[in-house]
């Protein structure tokens, strides 16, 4: 047995095998969670990225968000922990609290009573906007540093800190239905999420499949998922190390990324150049209050490395690349940037020529990064409120990366 264990530890990591296992995991996820492919892919990609790779989902109740975290936790061989957000939830209920151990014939001693959070690989914060601000703040440390801290004068400093596993990811949800008793997440909290997505209603076909196969929503189906798992935590960590060391980020790509990110920040040279050189999008740029943080910039680059590893070629999104290209940033731009851009209050009240949109279905624009300059201008002229996604589209269509493929290659 010792020889077998030794061989396993020294086995050479094969990125192609790892990639195939991730794509097989995508396929298994899609089978058991119908109609929500984007969330699962972002979460599984986040396990490779590490650090701040968390996902915030905004949607209505009953859209399978709990099932998503349960399936992802099983597929990566980890533990799932669910926190139900309520107005009276206390920080100690999230992290844990000390308790007095009165042992029989032994010395009475205070001990750390940790919750299930510090040991979890996948954490769900359900209806996080219904938590109190204190409860929301209790998630700052676990999400940013993977460190849970218990406030207790009875325990030593070492006893009040516990670190989460190396593979950890949070999926938090906000429900737009009913605003009573909710606390809007501040920008500092939103910045702890790499992605924010609004999946909307699942397709008619996916909903029909659920009606035809109601067993897919049964809790017992999770045992079937467990039997099909192909990934392990060790393989995820090995993949993370390989991606960080082997997926090349060129200076040309960094220059493009900096131009895009810094153009969201009023007062920077990049913002001023865009404002001065493109008159037609000035109404959009004028509505920006603050832009993407440095934290968001750093984590976007790491996410682009994972995107190149998993979905390199544009045609089939499976053939890998060892270099990061602007297309990787464009694929991720909206989910990473939209929630980090704060607009002026007047932007949400803006109307064109004092009128509102009469037909909400008449002006539909691409939301996948393929929007054109002409469409950006047309939307500006024909819609009312200016939103963060309009800022991202305006910047991506008016900042051009270098078109020399050799500039992105490894030196």
Q: Distance between CA 289 and CA 355 in Å, rounded?
A: 24
Please tell me the distance from the alpha carbon of residue 408 to that of residue 140, in angstroms, as a whole number.
36
Residue that is written with structure tokens 């054109």 in the block: 372
| pLDDT at residue 4, rounded to an integer | 39
The tokens for 27 are: 């396929």
Spatial contact of 401 and 326, defined as CB atoms under 8 Å apart:
yes
Tell me, letter by letter, the H, E, C secondary structure of the chain: CHHHHHHHHHCCCCHHHHHHHHHHHHHHHHHHCCCCHHHHHHHHHHHHHCCCCEEEEECCCCCCHHHHHHHHHHHCCCCEEEEECCCCCCHHHHHEEEEEECCCCCCCEEEEEECCHHHCCEEEEECHHHCCHHHHHCCHHHHHCCEEECCCCCCCCCCCEEECCCCCEEEEEECCCCCCCCCCCCHHHHCCEEEEECCCCCCHHHHHHHHHCHHHHCCCHHHHHHHCCCCCHHHHHHHHHHHHHHCECCHHHHHHHHHHHHCCCCCCHHHHHHHHHCHHHHHHHCCEEECCCHHHHHHHHHHHHHHHHHCCCCCCCCCCCCECCHHHHHHHHHHHHHHHCEECHHHHHCCECCECCCCCCCCCCCCCCCCCHHHHHHHHHHCCCCCHHHHHHHHHHHCCCCCCHHHHCCC
- The answer to whether the CB of 61 falls within 8 A of the CB of 102 is no
Token pair of 318, please?
A: 């499976």
Q: Which domains does the chain have, with CATH numbers?
A: 12-242 (3.40.50.300), 247-352+364-408 (1.10.8.80)
Q: What is the pLDDT of residue 353?
A: 47
Burial (CB < 10 A; 0-12, 13-18, 19+), residue 23, is middle
pLDDT at residue 179 in the model: 59
CA gap 116, 124 in Å, rounded: 12
Per-10-residue mean pLDDT of the chain, 411 residues long, equals 40 89 94 90 95 88 83 93 91 90 76 92 91 90 91 88 94 74 83 90 87 85 91 95 95 97 96 96 94 95 95 68 92 94 82 48 68 89 85 95 88 64
CA quadruple 268, 270, 276, 282: dihedral, nearest 10: -80
């Amino acid at each position: 047995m010792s020889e077998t264990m030794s061989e396993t530890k020294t086995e050479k990591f094969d990125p192609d095998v790892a990639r195939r296992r991730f794509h097989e995991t995508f396929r298994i996820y899609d089978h058991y969670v119908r109609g929500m492919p984007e969330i699962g892919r972002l979460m599984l990609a986040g396990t490779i990225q590490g650090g701040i790779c968390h996902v915030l989902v905004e949607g209505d109740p009953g859209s399978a968000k709990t099932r998503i975290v349960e399936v992802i936790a099983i597929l990566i061989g980890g533990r799932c922990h669910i926190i139900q957000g309520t107005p009276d939830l206390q920080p100690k209920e999230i992290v844990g609290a000390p308790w007095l151990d009165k042992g029989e014939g032994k010395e009475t001693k205070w001990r750390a009573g940790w919750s299930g959070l510090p040991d979890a690989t996948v954490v769900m914060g359900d209806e996080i906007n219904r938590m109190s601000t204190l409860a929301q703040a209790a998630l700052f440390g676990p999400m940013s540093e993977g460190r849970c801290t218990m406030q207790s004068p009875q325990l030593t400093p070492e006893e009040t800190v516990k670190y989460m596993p190396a593979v950890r990811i949070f999926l938090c949800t906000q429900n737009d239905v009913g605003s009573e008793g909710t606390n809007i997440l501040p920008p500092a909290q939103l910045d702890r999420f790499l992605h924010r997505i609004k999946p909307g209603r699942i397709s008619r076909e996916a909903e029909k499949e659920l009606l035809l196969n109601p067993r897919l929503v049964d809790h017992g189906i999770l045992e079937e998922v467990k039997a099909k798992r192909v990934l392990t935590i060790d393989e995820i960590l090995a993949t993370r190390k390989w991606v960080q060391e082997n997926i090349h980020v060129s200076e040309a790509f960094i220059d493009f990324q900096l131009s895009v990110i810094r153009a969201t920040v009023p007062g920077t040279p990049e913002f001023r150049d865009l404002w001065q050189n493109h008159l037609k999008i000035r109404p959009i740029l004028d509505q920006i209050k603050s832009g993407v943080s440095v934290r968001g910039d750093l984590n976007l680059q790491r996410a682009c490395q994972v995107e190149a590893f998993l979905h390199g070629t544009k045609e089939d999104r499976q053939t890998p690349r060892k270099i990061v290209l602007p297309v990787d940033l464009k694929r991720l731009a909206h989910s990473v940037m939209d929630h980090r851009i704060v607009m002026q209050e007047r932007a949400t009240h803006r109307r064109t020529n004092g009128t509102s949109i009469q037909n909400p279905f008449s002006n539909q624009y691409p939301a996948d990064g393929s929007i054109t300059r002409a469409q950006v201008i047309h939307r500006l002229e024909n819609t009312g409120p200016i939103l963060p996604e309009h800022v991202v589209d305006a910047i991506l269509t008016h900042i051009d990366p270098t078109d020399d493929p050799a500039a992105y290659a490894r030196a």
